[in-house]
Structure 1
Amino acid sequence: MHILISVNILMEKNMRDIKNKFKRYLRNMAIDKTPKLYPALKNTKEGNLYGYIDETGKMIIEPKFTTAYDFNNWGFAVIEENNKWGLINTKGEYKIMPIYDYISDFIEKTASFNKGEIMGAIDEKGDIITKRNYNFVGNFNEGRAVVGLPTKNGDSKYGYIDADGNERVKIELILANDFNEGVAIVKFNEDEYSLIDKEGNIINNYKYSFVSQYGDGLMVFQNKEGLYGFIDKDGNEVIKPIYKTANGFVDGLAVVSEEGEFNGPFGAINKQGKYVYKPIFSDIRQLGEERVALGMGIGKDENIKRNIYAIGDTKGNKLTDFLYLDVGNYKDGLAYASDEENTFFINSLGEKDIRLPIVSGSGQLIIKDNLIYADIDYSPYYLDKNKKIIYKPNDLIELDKQYSVLKFKYKPNINYLIYVPVIKGVKNKEVQNNINKKLKEMSLFIPINDEKQTKELIINKDDVLNYDYFGDFSIKYFNKDLLVLNLTGYYYLLGAAHGMPILKTPSINLITGEFYNLSDLFIPSIYWVSDINKIIKEMIDEDKKYEYVFKDTFKTVRFDQGFYIDKENLYIYFPPYEIGPYSAGFITFKIPFSKIDNIINKKGSFYKSFN
């Protein structure tokens, strides 16, 4: 009897294994016979939307998605529409309706998703592979993905699943890294790090303050004094801890610094701890395929420098002079690079490959099948390998038969780029000129700590700025005579923990040229501020969506308060840190007009401009 039960159990297990192997076989098959399609941007009055083009540049799936990823081998692509994520086929039909809060791009033929507090994973056909709900699902790497479940005390414990969704490493870890070279660094407890195999078997334990992911045969460790060195699987200190910063080994090299400042100096060592590149560089990037980018600082700021890069190999040979302001990773012997004027491909010797397109502007180039994807100056487009542009997004956004908005690129410097809205179609040209003059002034960004820029923006092509700035715009709302724009910007001061987003939302009467203030929406004789304050305070107190608002920080709306409107609602917003944390972004309160109908000035110019 016991033998029969054991045989049945074994047969069931074998059948499950066969089914799982067959599923993996099917997932690995590239069965999509349809033409290749590629995500392509179109600027519209509804926003910046993506559709899909074919290899000739013809739009096959009309633009309606705010995010669109490449199609996978089964002919499905992840998209975002109306702040929800789903999956479409090459006909634009939904395989998964956009019901998820997020779906990642496919990595190792799987993608993670989240819906509310639930996370899971799907395969390339859109089928859910996870067997239960998690509160965390990472990307797959070497056939394993980190998954997490909440604990009673509010923390999480982690384990690993395989490509079929089976839990292969028990969910009991307090820290879990991706697998690399068949092993992963984890923590079962606070006292030590452990190295495990793909079944969760412990290979070794390490009692250090920090141990990095395993790679290229070694791991970075940190001692009690805060210095970094390198150990092998057995825990032997192969390279003594003398560095203040250290990255893991790639292609036999590790980037280290004995000083630990933002700009180094950095060097690169081999596995014997000897410098292959002396510590004289302000940056070293490991590019893959046995290539590195060696950065030297430029500019007058002694503490924080920009870099210009030379290409070197992993044997210590500098292959080029310092020519490039940006360099991408190598793939199949090519990498993209940028100088002050152009972006192009370089070969394994670091030389410009003139057979492939050289495009004006800065950004990245990626070879996709027979096309080249150019994400240049934050404007993505496509070329063929004969250097011909086959698709480029429109610069003119039509609002109706009369009005349109032109995207004018203002780029005085490689690190300063703004797309300025230019209104067209206003009958009174003086009004139109005044509108555009003010929009340009609102779009430009002047750092408050730059003495040279106190009154006007003066940026020269050769200036080495200690910050990056990118500004853009979109159409927030248009109806009748009213145009509401979304002027966005991102300011990053070199060396800062993060940049600062900037938002301005001018409401413009296209007939009169008026730029409305919030007060223009309300009856002049009524103190509308107290009514709006009361509504916002109630929302903060009663709506869980606003539980992250700092206690007692909201006092009152200002007369120059940031706001915008649509047909039925007023939106009041506050920038990061004003009433909430940076991570909350622009905290926005949506107030229906029906709720403030008694204080709206319906005879006023503002209200009548869109009604």
Structure 2
Amino acid sequence: MGVLDEKGHKLTDAVYDYIGNYKDGYAVIRKTYGNKYRYGYLNLKGGESCETKYIEANDFNGNYALVKIKDREYSLIDNQCNIVNTYKYEYVGSYGNDMMVFSILLGGPYGYISKEDRIVINPIYSYAREFIDGISIVSTSNEIDKYGVIDKLGRPIYGEIYSDIKYLGEGRLALGLPIGKTKSKSRSIYAIGDDKGTIFTKFKFFKVNNFSNGMASVSDSRKTFFINKDGKELNNLPIFLGSGKLDLLGDIVQAYVDYYIYYLAQNNKMIYGPNKTINLSGTYSIIIEKYRPNINYLIYIPNIYGMNDKNAENQINLELRRLSIFDPPSDDIYVQTQLIITDEEILPYNYYGNFKILFYKENLLVLDLVGYYSEINQESILQVRKTCSINLLTGKLYKIKDLFNEGSNWDIEINNNILKIIKEEPNYNFIFPDSFKGITENQDFYIDNDNLYIYYHPEKIAPESMGFITFTIPLKNIDKIINKEGELYKLLTG
């Protein structure tokens, strides 16, 4: 790993295991010596301002950085790597405002010492952040979701009643209260307060970004917009339906809302926006419909246009909508009933769905409906998928059996091909032994000009970490069982 300047020129030939982001002109670097890691710092010219000799190294904050020399010994260094002071505690970290978090015992409790190694605030906290602009976020509770704010003398500015607190800069904070029930940490809804203890707004924001030049981007349950330092909506700047972030870049507003990027003038005139129409040909197109009934539930649904049979067009679009909707409580991940979600409902999960075109040829369209489900504050993500092979003349959705001659024992032939792949190809050695039981009439599949693809959802026949398992079977290998007079094959061959 190396360093390039803004023109792409290499700044150093040295190779490092790790290079952090530059902070105040310096980046943390790491090298491996035997079985040990050692850390140092790079300057903006790519030179080592501090050699890799520290057990731990924190980012520079102003002109100082905190490093670990050995067990129970930390030092504050300047940007010339001179030691300013040394601290002999079990833990020292989070330098800011000439103060550091420290603990006498491993695992806390934590307090604060000065740069001169004077105890400023006694170690009474189970959680303690660095001081920024004269305030810090702390907790004395052993429970999660109990945070408050103190000043540099340890005096409380906000009591420890908040599930989350974010410092937003410019003397403003986002104060979160818990909503909904999850397995671990609560989801929070935020109000805006200042560093003196004044709360300006109701608890109504789900996303809050840092302040810059007296403004911040926020999202409530419906829209994303700018607020001033009193938490009031700035109606003279663009407002977006959806959840995301706005940035003011000179006279232009950049918006990243519901996974799309927009650029607007401050008077709301669109400079750039995403294309919501996909032209397949002179006849057919796909209009992207956004379905967002809740801040935590978003799906982009394909709507097909240009079919001569408008009734068939309406029916296939209704079916694509039904297949796109995901209902976690259902035993069947592809919902068979109408799901109703309101914008006021507190969902214990996030869901994002979209689609992609796998194959298109004249009157045959293959769509992949994909989705990502995750419970709040859980790292694991459940992937869901449904692939649709669509006749654009009639709106018919094909099953795998429609590709083959009736009575040809096509399923046995496909099974044999898959078993051969599992046995002979080393890329499939992760398949669970004896987990492949054969395909069914409702088997997930898709096709293109050359191949038939059979796929399985995560954990069905292999570890979840392997994702979707796809078997590729060349059509020429199964030519004898393909129904050459069938609709699907004729659409495929044109």
What interval of TM-score do these two structures reach, taking the shorter chain for normalisation?
0.7 to 0.9
The Cα offsets for residues 136-165 of structure 1, whole Å up to 9 and x where unpaired, read as 332222222233445555x75443322222
Secondary structure, counterpart of 1:238 in structure 2? strand
Is residue 327 from structure 1 mapped to residue 201 from structure 2 by the alignment? no
More displaced stretch, 166-175 vs 247-256: 166-175
The answer as to whether partners of 2:290 and 2:301 remain within 8 angstroms in 1 is yes
Pairing partner for 1:316 from 197, 205, 217: 197
Is residue 355 from structure 1 mapped to residue 236 from structure 2 by the alignment? yes
The Cα offsets for residues 203-262 of structure 1, whole Å up to 9 and x where unpaired, read as 555566654332222333453254333333455443333333332222222112233544
The amino acid across from 2:134 in the alignment is G
Q: Distance in 1 between matches of 2:91 and 2:445?
A: 47
The answer as to whether partners of 2:184 and 2:377 remain within 8 angstroms in 1 is no
Secondary structure, counterpart of 1:477 in structure 2? strand
In structure 2, the partner of 1:179 is 60
- The two structures have a TM-score, normalised by structure 2, of 0.85
Q: Distance in 1 between matches of 2:217 and 2:434?
A: 47
In structure 2, the partner of 1:533 is 419
1:242-261 to 2 correspondence within 5 Å?
Answer: 242-261=124-143
The amino acid across from 2:297 in the alignment is Y
Query: 1:191 and 1:594, CA in 2 relative to 1: closer, same or farther beyond 3 A?
Result: farther
More displaced stretch, 264-273 vs 399-408: 264-273
The amino acid across from 2:133 in the alignment is D
Q: Distance in 2 between matches of 1:393 and 1:593?
A: 36
- How far is 1:324 from its partner? 2.7
The answer as to whether partners of 1:344 and 1:365 remain within 8 angstroms in 2 is yes
Is residue 142 from structure 1 mapped to residue 28 from structure 2 by the alignment? no
1:257-336 to 2 correspondence within 5 Å?
Answer: 257-262=139-144, 264-299=145-180, 305-336=186-217
- How far is 1:502 from its partner? 3.0
Query: 1:246 and 1:454, CA in 2 relative to 1: closer, same or farther beyond 3 A?
Result: farther
The amino acid across from 1:160 in the alignment is Y
Pairing partner for 1:230 from 112, 120, 132: 112
The Cα offsets for residues 347-376 of structure 1, whole Å up to 9 and x where unpaired, read as 122222222223333322111122111222
Secondary structure, counterpart of 1:272 in structure 2? coil
The answer as to whether partners of 2:56 and 2:67 remain within 8 angstroms in 1 is yes
The amino acid across from 2:362 in the alignment is K
Query: 1:511 and 1:251, CA in 2 relative to 1: closer, same or farther beyond 3 A?
Result: same
- The two structures have a TM-score, normalised by structure 1, of 0.70
1:359-438 to 2 correspondence within 5 Å?
Answer: 359-438=240-319
Secondary structure, counterpart of 1:120 in structure 2? coil
In structure 1, the partner of 2:379 is 497
1:569-580 to 2 correspondence within 5 Å?
Answer: 569-571=451-453, 573=455, 575-576=457-458
Q: Distance in 2 between matches of 1:595 and 1:215?
A: 67
The answer as to whether partners of 1:522 and 1:599 remain within 8 angstroms in 2 is no
The answer as to whether partners of 1:304 and 1:466 remain within 8 angstroms in 2 is no
More displaced stretch, 377-386 vs 510-519: 510-519
- How far is 1:406 from its partner? 1.0
Q: Distance in 1 between matches of 2:310 and 2:378?
A: 43
More displaced stretch, 366-375 vs 503-512: 503-512
Q: Distance in 2 between matches of 1:232 and 1:606?
A: 75
The Cα offsets for residues 78-134 of structure 1, whole Å up to 9 and x where unpaired, read as xxxxxxxxxxxxxxxxxxxxxxxxxxxxxxxxxxxxxxxxx3222111212231343
Secondary structure, counterpart of 2:316 in structure 1? helix
Query: 1:251 and 1:510, CA in 2 relative to 1: closer, same or farther beyond 3 A?
Result: same
- How far is 1:589 from its partner? 4.6
The answer as to whether partners of 1:536 and 1:589 remain within 8 angstroms in 2 is no
The answer as to whether partners of 1:185 and 1:212 remain within 8 angstroms in 2 is yes
The amino acid across from 2:267 in the alignment is N
Q: Distance in 1 between matches of 2:48 and 2:471?
A: 43
In structure 1, the partner of 2:45 is 164
The answer as to whether partners of 1:148 and 1:156 remain within 8 angstroms in 2 is yes
Query: 1:218 and 1:492, CA in 2 relative to 1: closer, same or farther beyond 3 A?
Result: farther
Q: Can you give the 5+ residue segments of structure 2 that lack an aligned partner in the other structure?
A: none
Q: Distance in 1 between matches of 2:49 and 2:449?
A: 53
Q: Distance in 2 between matches of 1:173 and 1:522?
A: 67
The Cα offsets for residues 14-49 of structure 1, whole Å up to 9 and x where unpaired, read as xxxxxxxxxxxxxxxxxxxxxxxxxxxxxxxxxxxx
The Cα offsets for residues 472-492 of structure 1, whole Å up to 9 and x where unpaired, read as 222232223332223232223
More displaced stretch, 495-504 vs 302-311: 302-311
The amino acid across from 2:378 in the alignment is A
In structure 1, the partner of 2:225 is 344
The Cα offsets for residues 500-538 of structure 1, whole Å up to 9 and x where unpaired, read as 333333332323434344565567424212322332454
Q: Distance in 1 between matches of 2:449 and 2:269?
A: 43
The answer as to whether partners of 1:296 and 1:309 remain within 8 angstroms in 2 is yes
The answer as to whether partners of 1:553 and 1:578 remain within 8 angstroms in 2 is no
Q: Distance in 1 between matches of 2:223 and 2:231?
A: 15
The Cα offsets for residues 426-447 of structure 1, whole Å up to 9 and x where unpaired, read as 2233332332222112111101
The amino acid across from 1:532 in the alignment is I
Q: Distance in 2 between matches of 1:428 and 1:446?
A: 31
- How far is 1:291 from its partner? 0.6
Secondary structure, counterpart of 1:214 in structure 2? strand
Q: Distance in 2 between matches of 1:171 and 1:595?
A: 59
The answer as to whether partners of 2:452 and 2:475 remain within 8 angstroms in 1 is no
The answer as to whether partners of 1:305 and 1:466 remain within 8 angstroms in 2 is no
In structure 2, the partner of 1:469 is 351
The answer as to whether partners of 1:416 and 1:470 remain within 8 angstroms in 2 is yes
In structure 2, the partner of 1:71 is none
Query: 1:552 and 1:445, CA in 2 relative to 1: closer, same or farther beyond 3 A?
Result: same
The answer as to whether partners of 2:457 and 2:469 remain within 8 angstroms in 1 is no
1:547-562 to 2 correspondence within 5 Å?
Answer: 549=430, 555=436, 558-559=439-440, 562=444
Secondary structure, counterpart of 1:448 in structure 2? coil
1:479-498 to 2 correspondence within 5 Å?
Answer: 479-498=361-380
More displaced stretch, 592-601 vs 428-437: 592-601
Secondary structure, counterpart of 1:530 in structure 2? helix
- How far is 1:268 from its partner? 0.8
The answer as to whether partners of 1:208 and 1:224 remain within 8 angstroms in 2 is no
| Backbone CA RMSD of aligned residues | 3.5
Q: Distance in 2 between matches of 1:313 and 1:257?
A: 19
Q: Distance in 2 between matches of 1:229 and 1:449?
A: 49
More displaced stretch, 404-413 vs 425-434: 425-434
The Cα offsets for residues 393-445 of structure 1, whole Å up to 9 and x where unpaired, read as 22221111111111112122232221111111222333323322221121111
The answer as to whether partners of 2:418 and 2:471 remain within 8 angstroms in 1 is no
In structure 2, the partner of 1:212 is 93
The answer as to whether partners of 1:256 and 1:266 remain within 8 angstroms in 2 is yes
More displaced stretch, 393-402 vs 465-474: 465-474
Is residue 126 from structure 1 mapped to residue 8 from structure 2 by the alignment? yes
The answer as to whether partners of 1:602 and 1:608 remain within 8 angstroms in 2 is no
More displaced stretch, 332-341 vs 473-482: 473-482
Q: Distance in 2 between matches of 1:130 and 1:572?
A: 48
